[in-house]
A = this chain, B = another copy of it.
């Protein structure tokens, strides 16, 4: 009952194989997972779909498409083709949500606004295709420390502004506490996104310091950091969101431990700090 809405993003326990993850989730009473394309492709998309179906698991999201900021026409065409493939993979896995990370600045460019517009242009192409396949694109704003090299969409307000150019059934946003916890304009954006049915995914991680070199793999276990996780859960609930609450941690320390133990700890932290 208490774990009803909990979904474990595969990256949190990337040391587990897909069958191990499915088994461990079933034993703990966790009914949902978020998956990543690379390990799914390695295991086989159809095989993964069968595995999760047989285990009775719901796939709450697939990470990730995006990286749509290239100016070079060939790179741009490759990115669109890759996103079409990602939409198909999401449909095959039976998830209704594909997470998109915008991409960073192209080499030698310093124009964030133009890069964001190229993301919008790409969505013009991808959104209808996603709609046809029953997949919603979820734009994930990443923390501003990734603006140069990973994601030019840095706030929930920006992500929502992009999403609102399209039907909510095609494009929405990801609310991830790790990326938005510092932002005093994010609560209003959460409310607006919820009201309009555009919260397509809700992800949790805590903010711990010091940040590691490269700032990629320092997302804290729930309760270890500065984020008022329960407060954000309440805001997202108040916005009308009733979907899965997905825990997505990138953390070298957690990856070095036994995956099943980390999974159990994460479920406990969820009950203690989120519910």
Contacts and interface: CB of A to CB of B under 8 A. Distances in A.
A24 interface: no
A231 B155 CA distance: 21
Given A154-B183, A183-B154, A226-B105, A145 B110 contact: no
A175 to B, nearest CB: 16
Interface string A203-215: 0000101111111
* Copies, count: 2
Interface centre among A143, A207, A210, A226 (most CB of B within 10 A): A226
A212 to B, nearest CB: 6
B213 A184 contact: no
Interface residues of A, number: 32
Interface in A131-157: 143-145, 147-149, 154-155
Given A210-B213, A214-B211, A158 B184 contact: yes
A23 B170 CA distance: 63
11 contacts: A110-B227, A110-B228, A110-B231, A143-B144, A143-B145, A147-B181, A147-B207, A148-B225, A211-B213, A211-B214, A213-B213
